[in-house]
């Protein structure tokens, strides 16, 4: 069911959906040790001519923002479940969402869950999941080459198993609300809830009264959550929300443009180094309607632009003592570089979404970047 959102939104209006994101943020503040860091990047700020802030979601447990939606969904199920018999969970994704679910299950004492990943899963993610499988903590299956095939296989498996609960990677309101907590941490909140207000740490960041949010996007769970929080919250800030996708795989952006969900082939998609955002969008996903109504712009970037941004970002992160980011996590930085000079005044926040990447994948990134030209 799609949540109805008023088209005549005005700043200061707060919907019950924004309230739900606030509740998700409060729950996460009791589960996570700290919010993901927000750091100012002088190098990128100098290049694009305005303040660039990096929201380091890849430093969260399991190595990505996906821990937010996974925890919010799984904890909401467990709250209403029979305490004597915990449900069996099933999930599927390109890798990061599955890893996030595994972390939450371990922390909450759930074992034996079934997880599905595509045959094209990144080696670093597969290695982590294989260790969990061999330890008997999960049951791992590789199904489908394109991620939507994998998602549907997981959902169908859950339907065939009585008492099982499927945890979607993006097409679920509790998942979307959990992801929205990433934006909630940024904005000033008049109720003083949780970890809100990172942008308030520097008065210069708020001086323009506007912030641009650059969000790497696949199925749209993070983008939808960020957009709802940005547009329906009451922070007092104007926002521009930009969905960032690989030029090679723009299913959600092209679907919004077409007014309906397109298949992988209809969108003309092909393989991308940004594996974490790859694939089509599940039919009926609420992310489509939220993004259609509340995302201001889209930005597509080439494989070389992604690779170069990833290398540049990882040099910046290394200098800050932070873990490296995977290619999909650099989509926001790639978009910032591409859109330099055309963004509204005020700080630009690029979400660094995941860090589950191995040496083999980074070698491909270097090759795509043609590093000698940097």
Q: Which two tokens stand for residue 252?
A: 């959600």
- Looking up tokens 């949010």 gives 213
Residue 120 lies in a domain: yes
- Give the whole-angstrom CA distance, residue 93 versus residue 172: 14
**Residue at which a domain ends, from 146, 167, 188:** 167
Same domain, 23 and 152: no
Q: What is the DSSP letter of 341?
A: T
CA torsion, ordered 229, 234, 240, 241, to nearest 10 deg? 0
List the pLDDT tens digit at each of the 374 positions of the chain.
Answer: 222 333 332 323 345 888 999 999 999 999 999 999 999 999 999 999 999 999 999 999 999 999 999 999 999 999 988 777 778 999 999 999 999 999 999 999 887 799 999 998 999 999 999 999 998 889 999 998 888 899 999 999 999 998 899 999 999 999 999 999 999 999 987 777 667 799 999 999 999 999 999 999 999 999 999 999 999 988 889 999 999 999 999 999 999 999 999 999 999 999 999 999 998 999 999 999 999 999 999 999 999 999 999 999 999 999 999 999 999 999 999 999 999 999 999 999 999 999 999 999 999 999 999 855 54
CB 333 within 8 A of CB 53: no
Cα–Cα dist 94/118, whole Å = 6
Domain end among 141, 167, 193: 167
**Token pair for residue 371?**
């590093």
Phi, psi of 255 (to 5 degrees): -65, -45
Q: Are residues 266 and 222 in the same domain?
A: yes
Q: Residue 1: its pLDDT value, please?
A: 23
Beta-carbon contacts of 74 under 8 Å, excluding residues fewer than 6 positions away, are: 89, 101, 104, 105, 108, 110, 167
Residue 374: how many other CB atoms lie within 10 Å: 10
The reply to whether 146 falls in a domain is: yes
Look at residues 145, 163, 167 and name the one whose alpha carbon lies nearest to residue 154. 167
Residues 255, 153, single domain; the answer is no
Co-location of 181 and 327 in the same domain: yes
Q: Which of 7, 3, 25 is nearest to 16 (CA)?
A: 3
Which string of b and e fits 29-38 if b means at least 16 CB within 10 Å? beebeebbbb
20 and 143 share one domain = no
- pTM, two decimal places: 0.92
Alpha helices, DSSP H only, in 213-356? 221-232, 251-258, 286-294, 303-319, 331-338
Distance CA 204, CA 265 (A): 45
The reply to whether 11 falls in a domain is no
9 found inside a domain: no
For 362, what's the count of Cα atoms within 13 Å in the CB-facing half-sphere?
A: 15
Judgement on whether residues 197 and 144 belong to the same structural domain of the protein: no
Check residue 354 and report its DSSP letter.
Answer: B
Residues in the chain: 374
CA distance linking residue 278 with residue 18, whole number of Å: 28
The CA-atom distances, in angstroms, between 80 and each of 17, 83, 175, 337 are 20, 8, 16, 46
Asked if the structure places residue 305 within a domain, the reply is yes
Same domain for 35 and 125?
no
Measured distance CA(183)–CA(216) in Å, rounded: 13
Please state the separation of Cα 347 from the chain's center in Å.
20
| Percent composition of the chain: helix, strand, coil (DSSP 3-state, to 5) | 45, 15, 40
Domain at 96, CATH number: 3.40.50.1100
Question: E strands of 25-156, at which residues?
Answer: 38-40, 52-56, 88-92, 113-117, 138-142
Q: How confident is the model at residue 194, as a pLDDT?
A: 67
How many Å apart are CA 232 and CA 287, to the nearest integer?
15
Same domain, 157 and 103: yes
Q: Are residues 251 and 105 in the same domain?
A: no
Q: What is the dihedral of CA 90, 95, 100, 106, to 10 degrees?
A: 60
In this structure, how many other beta carbons lie within 10 angstroms of the beta carbon of residue 206?
A: 19
Q: Name the nearest CA neighbour of 326 among 357, 299, 294, 353.
A: 357
Q: Are residues 160 and 195 in the same domain?
A: no
Does residue 6 sit within a domain? Answer: no
As for how many domains the chain has, the answer is 2
* End-of-domain residue from the set 167, 187, 222: 167
Range of the domain at 282: 16-62+173-373
Sign of CA dihedral 13, 15, 18, 23: positive
Same domain, 208 and 267: yes
CA distance 79 to 56: 29
My answer on whether 156 and 237 are in the same domain is no
Task: Judge whether 8 lies within some domain.
Answer: no
């Amino acid at each position: 069911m799609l949540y109805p959102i008023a088209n005549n939104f005005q700043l200061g209006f707060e919907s019950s959906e924004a309230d739900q994101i606030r509740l998700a943020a409060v729950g996460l503040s009791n589960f996570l040790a700290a919010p993901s860091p927000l750091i100012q990047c002088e190098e990128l700020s100098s290049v694009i001519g305005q303040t660039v802030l990096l929201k380091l979601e890849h430093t969260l447990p399991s190595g990505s923002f996906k821990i937010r939606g996974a925890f919010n969904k799984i904890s909401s199920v467990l709250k209403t479940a029979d305490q004597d018999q915990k449900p069996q969970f099933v999930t599927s994704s390109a890798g990061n969402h599955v890893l996030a679910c595994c972390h939450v299950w371990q922390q909450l004492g759930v074992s034996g869950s079934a997880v599905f990943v595509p045959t094209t899963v990144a080696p670093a993610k597969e290695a982590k999941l294989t260790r969990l499988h061999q330890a008997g903590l999960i049951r791992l299956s590789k199904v489908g080459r394109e991620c939507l095939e994998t998602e549907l296989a997981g959902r169908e498996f859950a339907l065939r198993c009585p008492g099982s609960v499927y945890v979607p990677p993006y097409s679920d309101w509790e998942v979307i609300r959990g992801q929205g907590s990433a934006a909630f941490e940024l904005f000033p909140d008049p109720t003083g809830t949780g970890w809100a207000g990172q942008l308030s740490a520097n008065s210069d960041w708020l001086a323009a009264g506007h912030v641009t949010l650059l969000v790497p996007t696949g199925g749209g769970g993070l983008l939808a959550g960020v957009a709802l929080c940005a547009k329906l919250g009451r922070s007092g800030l104007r926002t521009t929300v930009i969905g960032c996708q690989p030029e090679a795989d723009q299913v959600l952006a092209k679907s919004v443009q077409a007014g309906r969900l397109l298949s992988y082939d209809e969108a003309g998609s092909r393989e991308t180094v940004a594996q974490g955002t790859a694939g089509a969008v599940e039919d009926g996903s609420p992310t489509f309607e939220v993004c259609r109504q509340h995302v201001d712009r889209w930005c597509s970037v080439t494989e070389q632009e992604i690779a170069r941004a990833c290398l540049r970002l990882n040099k910046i992160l290394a200098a800050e003592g932070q873990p490296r980011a995977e290619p999909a996590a650099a989509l926001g930085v790639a978009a910032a570089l591409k859109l330099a000079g055309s963004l509204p005044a005020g700080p630009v926040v690029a979400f660094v979404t995941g860090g589950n990447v191995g040496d083999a994948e980074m070698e491909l990134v270097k090759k795509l970047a043609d590093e000698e030209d940097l």
